[in-house]
Amino acid sequence: MTGASSLPTHSSNDTNCIANSSNPTTKEHEPISQTIKRSMRELLPPNELNSNVAKFATGTLAFYTTSFLSQCIQYKLKISTGTRPTIIPIMIGATTVAMGSYMGHLSGVGLQSCWNRLQSGVDIRDVGRMGMDAVRQCVEPMKLMFRQDGSLSRSERREKREVWMHAAGVCIIGLLSYKTILRSHFSSLSPSSYTARGSFARVGLPAPPNFNYATSSQRAQLERIGRAWGCHTCGSRMLFSNVAKKDWHKPRFHGDHIPPVSVAKQINERWYRRKLGWKVSQKFYPQCRDCSNKQGGLLSKAINAGRKNLHSVGGGSESHFHGTRLRIGHMAGGIVAVTTVAQGFDGKEVVLASRERIKQLYTWAVDAGKELKGKIQSWWSFSKG
């Protein structure tokens, strides 16, 4: 008994340690690249829901980046929501939406390719390269646009046509998503003028023609609109504006005349308006105190300086830059990435499958249009009969 009790014993923990020391493939001894790859596969399980969430996030980020760069360029060129003619900020905004939608599609293509290859056990160091290869396969055929059709083979001409039709379909889906689903204005992607309808304007109330201030009921309604959508110039909802002063029930927003009273009076003095009796129509929009004070300061300075075109005050270099602010319209890139990017193992399969998805969406839209047309015709014939 004494000899048996003196024999050394090993606990279960000692046994596990010995096994781990003899097995070089355990978690403690695996290479860093293998650790990262294993962690990514655990965090990103291979299901379509997770990939769609990731595509939506990257598409939204791509659209946000495109919008930011567009607004930086507009700010340098002194373009704002008050630029005349108004078609200029609208067209620039539509172009920005189209480009942001296509950037969202490309980011979705790259992410989908990386996602699939990552789930198949590819080295983590090669995932980024594969994503860029997928994007390159999507964009490379566009270079054929700058070559004459006579120098292209039949397959290259077909590839050129398919690529540009695919890009047009992506942009159209983005434009429709931005306007119909997200209910955003194209001009809202321009810097916000202090003397015109701001980038964040959603709902306005008709103002009286005698330049009177908003009534008590209108002020209450404007307060509700401002708390829901924010200041029409800067987008702030003034959530913590009254916390320091403990003025919990004090109004956060003023009823801003658009165009401002001084601007409207100057426009009404134009000779053709006086001859024809045309008066400028105004609307009330909610505006925070800071933007209201800045608007008043800019107009007072311009009036004292004898400016003849007060409408240009508050725009250009004086406008409010909001390019860093996340907007609901930026999600158009995420919607495009989810709806236009299909599944595929590698970059080439993702690109080809995405083209087929656009064709299927086009066919569905045509069939839905024909069905709607038939229903309208049958309803019209029934109502006439």
Domain ranges of the chain: 38-190+330-384, 205-318
Cα separation, 134 vs 55, whole angstroms? 14
pLDDT tens digit at each of 385 positions of the chain: 444 444 444 444 454 444 444 444 455 555 655 555 555 455 444 556 678 888 999 999 999 999 999 999 999 999 999 999 999 999 999 999 999 999 999 988 888 877 776 666 655 556 566 667 767 777 766 666 666 767 778 888 888 888 888 899 999 999 999 999 999 999 999 999 999 999 999 999 999 988 899 999 999 999 999 999 999 999 998 877 655 555 666 788 999 999 999 999 999 999 999 999 899 999 999 999 999 999 999 999 999 999 888 988 999 899 999 999 999 999 999 999 999 998 876 777 888 888 899 989 889 889 888 988 888 888 888 887 6
Pick the closest to residue 71 from 370, 340, 324, 337 (CA basis).
324
Give Cα 286 distance to the centre of its chain.
23
Instruction: List, in sequence order, every beta strand (DSSP E) within 198-317.
Output: 205-206, 253-258, 283-288
The encoded tokens of residue 221 equal: 């309604």
Q: Quick check: helix, strand or coil at residue 283?
A: strand
The torsion angles phi and psi of 288, rounded to 5 degrees, stand at -75, 165
**E-state strands within 202-278:** 205-206, 253-258
Cα 300 to its chain centre, rounded Å, is: 36
| Prediction pTM value | 0.80
Q: Dihedrals φ, ψ of 84, to 5°?
A: -115, 140
